[in-house]
């Protein structure tokens, strides 16, 4: 980010508005961006305008277009706030001004911490309920009929994308600088990071129980390597973690994803770069010992996949009701 700000500083002119939208720790706009820009000799609030406005997009969500999502804007002087509000008012239906850039930065972190903590809670409940023989999705469906005091969150194989898995740790790092502990936030992050390992462990247990087969001798098909439904983004995807863990244990792993033709270069799992999506066909799917559903894209023919697969581990509840008494679908 600092390299980008320095590049902007190289062509900064008086009267310009600079807005940071990247999610970051509180204080970045005033403590990092502003000093770099002011090395040009121009001063924020006098010669140029500086503000922060968090990105609030939800990839794959067709219900809300960018213009319909209220835009939070914060700046550290009245002029910067007024100019930034006027700019975004021309693009979106509603602008929400706040008192400072730091407040605007924390708004985005609060949104993502809220989601991370609640997803961690429901993931932990899923593990407990599974041990008790209770379907977490049935529990959620019943609980959300209450018209107050409850908001449904759904478990999965782990969090992905560039925001929710990372943002809570920005706040934890900043809090530690002030000798403040945030154990709930940190523990939520740890639970979500552990979920891909939990899924791989359960895949191994199910293979052993159902087929008497160790992971080291298993052929595994991962369905969906994107981090969530109906997107092609693989950043921080739990599927990559699972592929890596399965390969470490000796499993032969391939993937199918209609939105991801090939895994691009990535810093965390460079060995997976270039891995290509395989076709989904009856003979092809049948050759795998287990199919693991990670991203529930609507473009996938789920009834056909379930019909062809010898064994299914479902982390998204997409296969519910498709078993037809055969006992080959296991919700994890």
The predicted pLDDT at position 91 comes to 96
Spatial neighbors of 255 by CB under 8 A, at least 6 apart, are: 221, 222, 223, 224, 225, 239, 243, 263, 275, 277, 278
Q: Which one of 136, 163, 294, 295 is the catalytic residue?
A: 163
DSSP 32: I
The predicted pLDDT at position 165 comes to 66
DSSP 271: G
Domains within the chain, CATH numbers bracketed = 2-99 (3.40.50.720), 194-331 (3.40.50.720)
Residues forming a β-bridge with 74: 52, 98
- Inform me whether the pLDDT recorded for 162 exceeds 70: no
Q: What mean pLDDT is predicted for residues 184-201?
A: 93
For residues 287 and 290, give the distance between their C-alpha atoms in angstroms, rounded to a whole number.
Answer: 9
Q: What is the pLDDT of residues 142-155, one digit of tens each?
A: 999 999 999 999 99
DSSP letter for each residue of 82-139: HHHHHHHHTTSS-EEEES-HHHHHHHHHHHHHHHHHHHHHHHHHHHHHHHTT--HHHH
Q: Nearest to residue 257, comparing CAs of 276, 273, 243?
A: 276
- Within 10 angstroms of residue 132's Cβ, the number of other Cβ atoms is 6
**CA-to-CA separations, 156 to 123, 139, 245, 291, 292, in angstroms, rounded:** 7, 15, 17, 16, 12
Q: What mean pLDDT is predicted for residues 187-194?
A: 91
The predicted pLDDT at position 202 comes to 97
The predicted pLDDT at position 64 comes to 86
The predicted pLDDT at position 159 comes to 82
Annotation marks residue 11 as catalytic: no
DSSP letter for each residue of 170-221: HHHHHHHHTT---HHHHHHHHHHHHHHHHHHHHHHHHHHHHH---GGG-EEE
For residues 21 and 28, give the distance between their C-alpha atoms in angstroms, rounded to a whole number.
Answer: 11
Spatial neighbors of 191 by CB under 8 A, at least 6 apart, are: 120, 123, 124
Confidence of residue 160 (pLDDT cuts 50, 70, 90): confident
**CA-to-CA separations, 81 to 19, 48, 50, 74, 198, in angstroms, rounded:** 10, 12, 8, 6, 46
Quickly tell me which residue has 């209609």 as its tokens. 258
Residue 90: φ, ψ to 5°: -80, -10
SS3 38: helix
- Inform me whether the pLDDT recorded for 176 exceeds 90: no
For residues 322 and 294, give the distance between their C-alpha atoms in angstroms, rounded to a whole number.
Answer: 17
Q: What is the pLDDT of residues 200-244, one digit of tens each?
A: 999 999 999 999 999 999 999 999 999 999 999 999 899 999 999
């Amino acid at each position: 980010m600092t390299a980008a700000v320095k590049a902007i500083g190289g062509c900064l002119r008086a009267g310009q508005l600079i807005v940071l939208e990247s999610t970051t720790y509180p204080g970045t706009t005033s403590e990092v961006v502003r000093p770099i820009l002011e090395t040009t000799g121009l001063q924020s609030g006098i010669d140029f305008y500086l503000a922060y406005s968090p990105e609030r997009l939800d990839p794959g969500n067709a219900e809300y277009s960018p213009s319909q999502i209220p835009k939070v804007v914060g700046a550290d002087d009245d002029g910067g706030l007024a100019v930034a509000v006027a700019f975004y008012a021309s693009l979106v239906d509603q602008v929400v001004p706040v008192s400072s850039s730091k407040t605007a930065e924390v708004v985005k972190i609060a949104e993502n911490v809220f989601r991370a903590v609640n997803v961690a809670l429901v993931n932990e409940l899923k593990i407990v309920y599974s041990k008790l023989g209770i379907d977490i999705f049935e529990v959620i469906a019943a609980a959300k009929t209450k018209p107050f005091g409850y908001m449904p969150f759904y478990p999965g194989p782990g969090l992905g994308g560039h925001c929710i898995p990372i943002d809570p740790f920005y706040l934890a790092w900043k809090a530690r600088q002030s000798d403040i502990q945030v154990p709930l936030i940190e523990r939520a992050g740890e639970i979500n990071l552990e979920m891909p390992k939990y899924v791989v462990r359960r895949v191994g247990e199910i293979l052993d129980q159902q087929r008497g087969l160790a992971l080291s001798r298993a052929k595994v098909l991962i369905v969906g390597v994107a981090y969530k439904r109906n997107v092609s983004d693989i950043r921080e995807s739990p599927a990559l973690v699972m592929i890596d863990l399965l390969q470490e244990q000796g499993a032969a792993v391939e993937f199918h994803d209609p939105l991801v033709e090939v895994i691009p270069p990535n810093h965390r799992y460079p060995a997976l770069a270039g891995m290509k999506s395989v076709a989904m066909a009856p003979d092809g799917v049948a050759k795998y010992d287990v199919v693991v559903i990670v991203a529930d894209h609507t473009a996938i023919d789920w009834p056909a996949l379930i019909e062809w697969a010898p064994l299914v581990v479902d982390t998204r509840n997409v296969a519910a009701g498709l078993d037809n008494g055969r006992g080959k679908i296991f919700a994890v």
